[in-house]
Chain A
Amino acid sequence: MRGGRASRRWTLLIAAFCALPAAAQVAGQWRDSAHIWRAVCGHCHGAGVARPLFGTPLPPQAIIAITRNGLNGMPAFVTAQLSDHELERLAQWLREQPAGAQERD
């Protein structure tokens, strides 16, 4: 009986896990800056479509302003997708990456 209850609880846990957003990709759900890079930025900035950003000398405030409002062909990213905190960490993370290591995968 005990085993039965335990396995039922385990099944319920799996069900609950499955109901959570999988690899969710809006504000508050990103795993870390590398996740944001792989799912979003890297598709252009790590693939030769837009300027490379690893090790960028751009000040964080410039990265934040451009990401938030867009610039020329670059789309804007609203707070519902990237929180202010996530964006600040991303800007710092980009500056810390070794220049040249640009490929997404």
Chain B
Amino acid sequence: MTQFVALPPGLSAAEFERALGELRGLLGTDRVVAVADRLRPYQKMMIPAPDEAHVPSGVVMAESVTEVQGILAICNRYRIPLWPTSTGRNFGYGTSSPATRGQLILDLRRMNRILEVDAELGTALVEPGVTYQQLHDYLSERDIPLWLDFPGPGPIVSPLGNTLERGGGNTPYGDHFAHACGMEVVLADGRVLRTGMGSIPNTTSWQVFKYGYGPYLDGIFTQSNFGVVTKLGLWLMPAPPGHRTVLVQFDAEAQLPAAVDTMRRLQLQRVITNVGVMATAVMALSTFKTRAELYDGPGPVPQPVIDAAARDSGIATWNMTFTLYGTPAQIAPNLAIVTEAFEAVGGRVNPDFHDGSQVNELSLASFGILNWVGGGGLAWFAPVSPARGSDAARQAKLARRILGAHGFDYLAAPTLNGRDLHHLIALVYNRNDADEKQRANRCFEQLVHEFAQHGYGLYRVGIDYMDKLAGIYGSVNRDVNRAIKQALDPNGILAPGKSGIHP
């Protein structure tokens, strides 16, 4: 009998062995994994969660919708919980690991076909395992003038996976779910739903019109466990004739409210059309320096040390970037408008900056933040804020105080998207140090708790905090989600605990 690293809840080893036998019959032996050394790569996490609480019982790898249906049938029969992943990255939120121990990971990375790209309409249809790098290569090999919008780890992650988590990037298409159009979803009972116009036989419009007829369903398949999404339509941005990335720097913390208010006005007026980002000095420094190079004492790096290092590298207290796109004739007047607006509130404007994420250049430069302390620990704390200066300043003060109290630096890069601001904060820590890991966990807990007390919720959270965050969103919200869960997945086999939704 195989020694399993974890068992699905309620199953004996013998029952699980029988289920794996059926899965091997469906997929072959290579695509069913339940031995410890082959499972280890699926267990590497960055978040400060206890590893043992998130150990998977195994992995199955599907290569087609038919195989997904077959896997679901077997898992329904044996009541095996199944944790679908696209490329299994989800860095800083749990990587591949399931929300609860013993789930069987459904690895969809081998479903990686780019099924369609329409160069005229700017649309694509992709499977879960397609990466941004793969799609980028596809477009450039064919000279298709369409751009991608991707998150920090773009080259090695999936547009489908990131969109289902409602992730974002930094071009005008930076709200990924807003630029998705049409899904194929395998429901727990094996039926296949195509959302929007996709339900019509021989549809001509699946990737161009989102809403179809009747309730708009796509949203319930994001950040949820109501189905397995096997295809996703994307809208891609036509490559602009030109672009100019602007850096605006603010030397004093007291300038943050004016910076945010000015950015909001310019975005709502559509002078600035992309998702802007503003990095703290430490965040900017962390991309090319380590903490140890600046300071070897305990606690957060003292502000005077940060200020001195930042000055030496041309970094300010807040460093905001955005891009103007279009022809030179379009960019010139917009540059004049933004320059005047930001200089009026004390910003220093540099109109010749470069940020690859805003101009279709894939990179993993954001991994540099993991070098700040070393040890591979990262938890993204991502509260939403109104894009109002007073809220942004309040959140910054709160975050700085809580992080500092636990000995961590304020590595923040809020993204600015018109009316809202995602206050992305990287809680980086040494995961090899058990005490520091515990400290990071306590810090995260306090951040979630205190931000909620001020009326701020997160847009996304790691697998260990899903129940707690769902609790903050209230009982009616949870009841509705549970009712949908019971209707669509009565055996509760799909990703129990995802977003705090349980059978």
Contacts and interface: CB of A to CB of B under 8 A. Distances in A.
A73 B131 contact: no
Interface stretch (A41-49, A53-61, A94-102): A41-49
Interface stretch (B88-96, B176-184, B438-446): B88-96
A21 B114 contact: yes
Interface in B415-464: 431-432
Contact of A80 (B89, B110, B365, B368): B110
B38 interface: yes
A70 to B, nearest CB: 4
Interface string B126-151: 00010101100110010000000000
B61 interface: yes
B218 interface: no
Classify the secondary structure of A's interface with B. loop
B155 A26 contact: no
Interface in B156-176: 156
A47 B364 contact: yes
Interface in A32-89: 39-40, 43-44, 47-50, 68-81
Size category of the B interface is 35 or more
Nearest to A39: B133
A1 to B, nearest CB: 30
Contact of B374 (A72, A75, A77): A72
A75 B153 CA distance: 11
B281 to A, nearest CB: 20
A19 B109 CA distance: 17
Interface string B43-74: 01000000000000001010000000000000
A16 interface: no
Q: Which 10 A-B pairs have the closest CB atoms?
A: A73-B370, A76-B41, A23-B137, A43-B364, A72-B376, A22-B138, A70-B44, A76-B44, A78-B41, A73-B376
29 contacts: A20-B113, A21-B112, A22-B114, A22-B134, A23-B134, A23-B137, A23-B138, A26-B109, A26-B110, A27-B110, A39-B133, A40-B156, A43-B155, A43-B362, A44-B364, A49-B364, A49-B368, A49-B371, A70-B41, A70-B44, A72-B374, A72-B376, A73-B378, A75-B44, A75-B91, A76-B41, A78-B88, A79-B33, A81-B87
Interface of B: 31, 33, 38, 40-42, 44, 59, 61, 87-89, 91, 95, 107, 109-110, 112-115, 129, 131, 133-134, 137-138, 141, 155-156, 288, 362-365, 367-368, 370-371, 374-376, 378, 431-432
Interface of A: 19-27, 29, 39-40, 43-44, 47-50, 68-81
